[in-house]
Amino acid sequence: MVDIATRVYNHKWKIDPIIRSLIDTDFYKLLMCQSIFRNSRNTRVTFSLHNRSKDIRLAELIDEAELRQQLDYARGLKLTRGESTWLRGNTFYGKRQMFRSDFMEWFEGYQLPPYELEIIDGQFHLTFEGPWHEVMLWEIPALAILMELRSRAVLNTMGRFELQVLYARAMARVWEKIEALREIPGLKIADFGTRRRHGFLWQDWCVQAMVEGLGDAAKGGAFTGTSNCLIAMRRDLEAVGTNAHELPMVYAALARTDAELREAPYRVLADWHEEHEGNLRIILPDTYGTAGFLEHAPDWLAGWTGIRIDSGDPITAAETAISWWQARGEDPREKLVIFSDGLDVAEIKALHARFAGRVKVSFGWGTLLTNDFRGLVPGDGLAPFSLVCKAVSADGHPTVKLSDNPEKAMGPAEEVARYKRVFGVGAQQPRAVVV
Amino acid sequence: MVDIATRVYNHKWKIDPIIRSLIDTDFYKLLMCQSIFRNSRNTRVTFSLHNRSKDIRLAELIDEAELRQQLDYARGLKLTRGESTWLRGNTFYGKRQMFRSDFMEWFEGYQLPPYELEIIDGQFHLTFEGPWHEVMLWEIPALAILMELRSRAVLNTMGRFELQVLYARAMARVWEKIEALREIPGLKIADFGTRRRHGFLWQDWCVQAMVEGLGDAAKGGAFTGTSNCLIAMRRDLEAVGTNAHELPMVYAALARTDAELREAPYRVLADWHEEHEGNLRIILPDTYGTAGFLEHAPDWLAGWTGIRIDSGDPITAAETAISWWQARGEDPREKLVIFSDGLDVAEIKALHARFAGRVKVSFGWGTLLTNDFRGLVPGDGLAPFSLVCKAVSADGHPTVKLSDNPEKAMGPAEEVARYKRVFGVGAQQPRAVVV
């Protein structure tokens, strides 16, 4: 029996919206938003989309009007009663009322701010300018919209069975990965794949496959949760994540002297230290070079719960952190190391084999969980690519990111040179950025 | 929106019936049934299930009560108005009113007759005894029920995502096969996979995949149709097939002298010749050895449309047929050769490469289209196996089949010896029977 009402209702949609909820975003964006709302409400920031994979000419694949429709639809969203209740009432990392009342009241009235869109040389130049805490929430939906519109552009050309077989193959691939991960004793792994996912429904499927294949960590399994708040809410999972490069990048851009600049990354974490404890005290050390950051770090940082490794050679970075903890009199076996850069099964296995027992190892698995469609269509038109949406300026000053991989560096050349000097970053080993 | 009525309706089913229609059977069974209804209405025949794969102990996998429920459900079926209309009104191989009114009137009142079921040494002994035209229609539903109950026994132990991934893998496999078949120029291929299918829905999916991947032959594609009448009706495809071993086997069993026995296989085809023309005049020569059958065949048989090769080495058999046509002054390029024995893509490719252009080549693809679940679950519990349901006696006389492969031979040893003598069948090359 066809449900006629459902069929008719579905026909009424003018578009098939990609972002249907303000919490279809990464948990750490909300955490950071609250922190910015408290500490930096008057800072104006510009976020800008950047496609590192230049050969993928997005503006030739995606119709501009369709993109505008999706962005406009997202702008119409407001936090629902249930979403607000979930954010207010939930326990995150064992802590109740993670989100303060003043922040929640502001968020309940929030809508995504206006955007600027133009096309230059086959690419969309999409920017969001305004108060930092308002524009920063565009990052994830903007990326997810563009990723999914690109998927749709390719999928639109396919027949019904081709589509079914495509997803059959993709599912078999994800499941094989999960079966391989099952072999790793004591594994802890989370989904970090919202921003560059193939599509929302696909991420949701991948998360459910992780739950069935690895088991929910709350019930003794290996799957520690998802960074996606909407999926965490709907699937009754832990929402996970801590903080990102945008905090030190904006703090650094606002520094007026070299001395202030040198202190900026630590000032970020001092603010964070005041607000958060336990599993949220995770250092992201690579914004201006991991080695220098740790070397000059204040002692209280060594007491934090762990570190997230998001660029460069992950083995080097983890070994550097272990030596640093040892030098500061900390026991690395009590420390959490979260690997989150371009992971797939082979890297996860190798890193786990090397570091399990020496530190508490955990993984944030992103694009190659939620968007591994490599080789599944002719011309590889569904392969993931490297799209980012970053804070590019703060109160008129350009931001800079060095990272542990020069391929991921951002900012004007002269500023990059200055930052390298200030942070004592020398030669770096480039690593190909696939996703 | 969940359709509550549908949900409640589904809950009311006491079983999930495997056979839901009397035309969920092979087209050639109905053709042969009509022929028997006309020519041999008083012959009593026993059909009996036989599992050639002895290591698969069906009675330990399948609950007897569940089997009885399924068989009883099938016994309750009657031809629906729509099914009758389709059979009466359809064009088969370009001919209207293939089914005569007297046969259709009988069929409209028909129900599957009683069965006998016992368990001996881990196997179901399932027999159907009665007028030939009544019991012969049990063959396909009985096989399909047992195959699907065995699938269900294995599937019952699997989780939701395991199931989804299982079908994802199976779909990807079928699609890869179809993509490989696409490369063969001028291919003609049909679905012959009803009897040993994984399940009804799976066969239906495979047929639809063939239509999308190869194209309907009616519209210039390579897919010439399905042997399954129900699927042909629902999917608007050609129902295909001609005749099977049961005709010569029963005619031979009824022969009173060696001379009559020797003539029996030709008498079958003489009766068929009167009833049918064109694409239905397909010789199935291997019941008592292809070489001898052709050698002693009357000249009018060389005028038939083609031959179906269903056992032994297909290359030898096809070459024998080509030589035979040439010896009888026929042009093999005008003749149809249908290969239908245990085919998969590699065999189809090789046979097509060898015979295309020399004869009109066509394929009836069975078990490895509709039941290739090899290697997809631990212990290979879903691999297809060799289950048959055959006429074992006629009016109290045992039937015999020699085939071109001694592994497929059937009948009491002394009768097999007599048939070998009468039909001049010498040493034969055994070939493993997988499906």
Tokens of A296: 């000059």
Contact residues, chain A, for B5 at CB < 8 Å: 1
Q: Which residues of A13-37 are buried (b: 16+ CB within 10 A; e: fewer)?
A: eeeebbbebbbbbbbbbbbbbbbbb
Question: Comparing C-alpha atoms, which of B381, B386, B383 is closest to residue B154?
Answer: B381
In this complex, which of A5, A161, A209 lies closest to B209 when CB atoms are compared? A161
**Together in a domain, A195 and A126:** no
Contact residues, chain A, for B167 at CB < 8 Å: 168
CB pairs under 8 A between A and B: 52
| B-interface mutation test, from A4, A10, A164, most B Cβ less than 10 A away | A164
Per-residue confidence band for A130, with pLDDT thresholds at 50, 70 and 90: very high
According to DSSP, the residues that pair with B44 across neighbouring strands are B131
> Is the residue at A72 inside a domain?
yes
> Is the residue at A67 inside a domain?
yes
**Together in a domain, B97 and B175:** no
Q: Read off the pLDDT of residues A403-432 as tens digits, 9 standing for 90 and up.
A: 999 989 999 999 999 999 999 998 888 988
User: Distance between CA A103 and CA A79 in Å, rounded?
Assistant: 13
Return the minimum-mean-pLDDT range out of A296-300, B115-119, B341-345, B406-410.
B406-410
Instruction: Kindly state the DSSP code that residue B359 receives in the 8-state scheme.
Output: B
> Is the residue at B406 inside a domain?
no
pLDDT of residue A34: 96
Contact residues, chain B, for A167 at CB < 8 Å: 168
pLDDT at A253 over 90: yes
Contact residues, chain B, for A164 at CB < 8 Å: 171
Phi-psi region of A86 (alpha: psi -120 to 50; beta: other; left: phi over 0): alpha
Q: Read off the pLDDT of residues B131-155 as tens digits, 9 standing for 90 and up.
A: 999 999 999 999 999 999 999 999 9
| A-interface mutation test, from B4, B8, B11, B161, most A Cβ less than 10 A away | B161
Average pLDDT over chain A, rounded to an integer? 95
Cβ separation of A172 and B167 shorter than 8 Å? no
What is the 3 state secondary structure string of chain A?
CCCHHHHHHHHHCCCCCCCCCCCCCEHHHHHHHHHHHHHCCCCEEEEEEEECCCCCCHHHHCCHHHHHHHHHHHHCCCCCHHHHHHHHHCEECCEECCCCHHHHHHHHCCCCCCCEEEEECCEEEEEEEEEHHHHHHHHHHHHHHHHHHHHHHHHCCCCHHHHHHHHHHHHHHHHHHHHHHHCCCCCCEEECCCCCCCCHHHHHHHHHHHHHHHCEHHHCCCEEEECEHHHHHHHCCCECCCCCCHHHHHHHHCCCCHHHHHHHHHHHHHHHHHHCCHHHCEECCCCCCHHHHHHCCCHHHHCCCEEEECCCCHHHHHHHHHHHHHHCCCCHHHCEEEECCCCCHHHHHHHHHHHECCEEEEEEECHHHHCCCCCCCHHHCCCCCCEEEEEEEECCEECCECCCCHHHCECCHHHHHHHHHHHCCCCCCCCCCCC
Cβ separation of A208 and B172 shorter than 8 Å? no
Per-residue confidence band for B36, with pLDDT thresholds at 50, 70 and 90: very high
CA distances from B165 to A162, A198, A259 (A): 17, 18, 56
User: Distance between CA B236 and CA B37 in Å, rounded?
Assistant: 28
User: Distance between CA B98 and CA B206 in Å, rounded?
Assistant: 27
Question: Comparing C-alpha atoms, which of B111, B399, B152, B362 is closest to residue B252?
Answer: B399
Contact residues, chain B, for A159 at CB < 8 Å: 212
Residues on chain B bordering chain A, Cβ-to-Cβ distance under 8 angstroms: 1-3, 5-6, 9, 159-162, 164-165, 167-169, 171-172, 175, 208-209, 212-213
Tokens of A320: 């550097």
pLDDT of residue B10: 80
User: Distance between CA A136 and CA A133 in Å, rounded?
Assistant: 6
Q: Is the dihedral of CA B303, B308, B314, B315 positive or negative?
A: positive
User: Distance between CA B197 and CA B372 in Å, rounded?
Assistant: 9
Contact residues, chain A, for B162 at CB < 8 Å: 212
User: Distance between CA A266 and CA A271 in Å, rounded?
Assistant: 9
Angle subtended by helix axes A27-39 and A258-275, to nearest 10? 110
User: Distance between CA A16 and CA A201 in Å, rounded?
Assistant: 12
**Together in a domain, B190 and B339:** yes
User: Distance between CA B141 and CA B154 in Å, rounded?
Assistant: 20
Averaged pLDDT for residues B74-83: 96
> Do residues A120 and A375 touch, judged by C-beta distance below 8 A?
no
Contact residues, chain B, for A175 at CB < 8 Å: 161, 165, 168
Cβ separation of A169 and B168 shorter than 8 Å? yes
Per-residue confidence band for B379, with pLDDT thresholds at 50, 70 and 90: very high
> Is the residue at A127 inside a domain?
yes
Q: ipTM of this model?
A: 0.79
Chain B CA closest to residue A170:
B168
Phi, psi of A79 (to 5 degrees): -60, 130
**Together in a domain, B92 and B58:** yes
pLDDT of residue A166: 94
Chain A CA closest to residue B177:
A165
**Together in a domain, A145 and A264:** no
Residue A171 C-alpha, separation from nearest chain B C-alpha, in angstroms: 6
> Is the residue at A407 inside a domain?
no
Cβ separation of A171 and B168 shorter than 8 Å? yes
Contact residues, chain A, for B235 at CB < 8 Å: none
In this complex, which of A9, A168, A175 lies closest to B171 when CB atoms are compared? A168
Residue A158 C-alpha, separation from nearest chain B C-alpha, in angstroms: 11
CATH code of residue B93: 3.20.140.10
CA distances from A4 to A16, B3, B4, B126 (A): 19, 9, 12, 45
**Together in a domain, A268 and A245:** yes
> Is the residue at B413 inside a domain?
no
CA distances from A400 to A46, A64, A256, B290 (A): 13, 29, 14, 82
| B-interface mutation test, from A165, A181, A373, most B Cβ less than 10 A away | A165
Per-residue confidence band for B3, with pLDDT thresholds at 50, 70 and 90: confident
> Is the residue at A60 inside a domain?
yes
Neighbour count for residue B83 (Cβ, 10 Å): 20
> Do residues B209 and B383 touch, judged by C-beta distance below 8 A?
no
**Together in a domain, A363 and A220:** yes
Provide the domain count of chain A.
2
User: Distance between CA B291 and CA A238 in Å, rounded?
Assistant: 71
According to DSSP, the residues that pair with B390 across neighbouring strands are B48
pLDDT at A4 over 90: no
Q: Read off the pLDDT of residues B300-354 as tens digits, 9 standing for 90 and up.
A: 999 999 999 999 999 999 999 999 999 999 999 999 999 999 999 999 999 999 9
**Together in a domain, B331 and B389:** no
Residue A344 C-alpha, separation from nearest chain B C-alpha, in angstroms: 20
Angle subtended by helix axes A200-214 and B160-182, to nearest 10? 120
Contact residues, chain B, for A161 at CB < 8 Å: 175, 208-209, 212-213
A375 CB-near residues (< 8 Å, 6+ apart)? A383
In this complex, which of B1, B171, B212 lies closest to A6 when CB atoms are compared? B1
**Together in a domain, A8 and A100:** yes
User: Residue B96: enclosing H or E segment and its boundaries?
Assistant: strand B95-96
pLDDT of residue B5: 76
Cβ separation of B169 and A167 shorter than 8 Å? no
Measured in Å, how far apart are chain B's first and last C-alpha atoms? 43
Cβ separation of B212 and A161 shorter than 8 Å? yes
| B-interface mutation test, from A4, A161, A167, most B Cβ less than 10 A away | A161
Q: Read off the pLDDT of residues B45-67 as tens digits, 9 standing for 90 and up.
A: 999 999 999 999 999 999 999 99
Q: Read off the pLDDT of residues A322-375 as tens digits, 9 standing for 90 and up.
A: 999 999 999 999 999 999 999 999 999 999 999 999 999 999 999 999 999 999
Cβ separation of B161 and A3 shorter than 8 Å? no
Measured in Å, how far apart are chain A's first and last C-alpha atoms? 43
pLDDT of residue A5: 76
Chain A CA closest to residue B166:
A172
Question: Comparing C-alpha atoms, which of A322, A371, A305, A306 is closest to residue A342?
Answer: A371
Cβ separation of A161 and B6 shorter than 8 Å? no
pLDDT at B2 over 80: no
Residue A129: domain span: 4-157+385-396
pLDDT of residue A238: 94
In this complex, which of A1, A160, A169 lies closest to B172 when CB atoms are compared? A169
pLDDT of residue A255: 96
Cβ separation of A165 and B159 shorter than 8 Å? no
Contact residues, chain A, for B375 at CB < 8 Å: none
Bridge-based pairing state of the strands B306-309 and B336-339:
parallel
**Together in a domain, A145 and A213:** no
Residue B201 C-alpha, separation from nearest chain A C-alpha, in angstroms: 15
Phi-psi region of B225 (alpha: psi -120 to 50; beta: other; left: phi over 0): left
Q: Read off the pLDDT of residues B222-275 as tens digits, 9 standing for 90 and up.
A: 999 999 999 999 999 999 998 999 999 999 999 999 999 999 999 999 999 998
Q: Read off the pLDDT of residues A212-249 as tens digits, 9 standing for 90 and up.
A: 999 999 999 999 999 999 999 999 999 999 899 999 99
User: Residue B253: enclosing H or E segment and its boundaries?
Assistant: helix B246-254
| A-interface mutation test, from B9, B171, B173, B201, most A Cβ less than 10 A away | B171
Question: Comparing C-alpha atoms, which of A31, A229, A266 is closest to residue A133?
Answer: A31
User: Residue B118: enclosing H or E segment and its boundaries?
Assistant: strand B116-120
Residue A109 C-alpha, separation from nearest chain B C-alpha, in angstroms: 29
In this complex, which of A9, A165, A213 lies closest to B175 when CB atoms are compared? A165
Q: What is the CA radius of gyration of chain A?
A: 21
In this complex, which of B3, B161, B168 lies closest to A1 when CB atoms are compared? B3
**Together in a domain, A232 and A287:** yes
- Helix, strand, coil content of chain B in percent (nearest 5): 50, 15, 35
| B-interface mutation test, from A158, A166, A171, A377, most B Cβ less than 10 A away | A171
What's the angle, vertex CA B303, arms to CA B300 and CA B304, rounded to 5?
A: 105
Three-class SS of residue B296? coil
> Is the residue at A425 inside a domain?
no
In this complex, which of A9, A165, A212 lies closest to B171 when CB atoms are compared? A165
In this complex, which of B5, B165, B172 lies closest to A165 when CB atoms are compared? B172
User: Distance between CA A166 and CA A162 in Å, rounded?
Assistant: 6
**Together in a domain, B96 and B118:** yes
Cβ separation of B161 and A1 shorter than 8 Å? no
